Amino acid sequence: MHELAITQSMFDLVLEQAEKAGAKKVRKINLVIGEMTGVVEDCVRFYFDFLSKGTLAEKAALSFVMVPLKVRCRGCGKAFELKEFNWTCPYCQGNGMEIIAGKELFVESIEVE
Ligand SMILES: [Zn+2]
């Protein structure tokens, strides 16, 4: 259920920005979501439709950029994309990892009229 809270805060931010810009309508919202957040695109769409009814952002298009989970091995220092949450370094078989991408969750930009 955490998509509801996430969508709510994203939606509040979008409306705030749109109002500040004196917009009549929000046309498009560009979102960046990291794989590590576990946020499901369809859930965000569903909650967004629900929250945006009767607001400036009603029927706005949602565009998602998904960021794959990337880590750096603490053992050998190599960076790579983590597949299927397999926390073993393919280079040195170590399992000490630092996450360098995939935790993103933000509104990159909005397009208004
Ligand atoms: Zn390694």
Confidence of residue 84 (pLDDT cuts 50, 70, 90): confident
Model confidence over 58-83: pLDDT tens digits?
999 999 999 999 999 999 999 999 98
Ligand 1 mean position, distance from CA 33 (Å):
26
Q: Is the pLDDT of residue 85 over 90?
A: no
Model confidence over 6-60: pLDDT tens digits?
999 999 999 999 999 999 999 999 999 999 999 999 999 999 999 999 999 999 9
Mean per-residue pLDDT, 1-6: 84
Ligand 1 mean position, distance from CA 86 (Å):
13
Rounded to an integer, what distance in angstroms lies between the CA atom of residue 113 and that of residue 69? 34
Ligand 1 mean position, distance from CA 74 (Å):
7
Ligand 1 mean position, distance from CA 69 (Å):
16
Ligand 1 mean position, distance from CA 81 (Å):
12
pLDDT at residue 72, rounded to an integer: 97
Q: Is the pLDDT of residue 1 over 80?
A: no
Ligand 1 mean position, distance from CA 84 (Å):
17
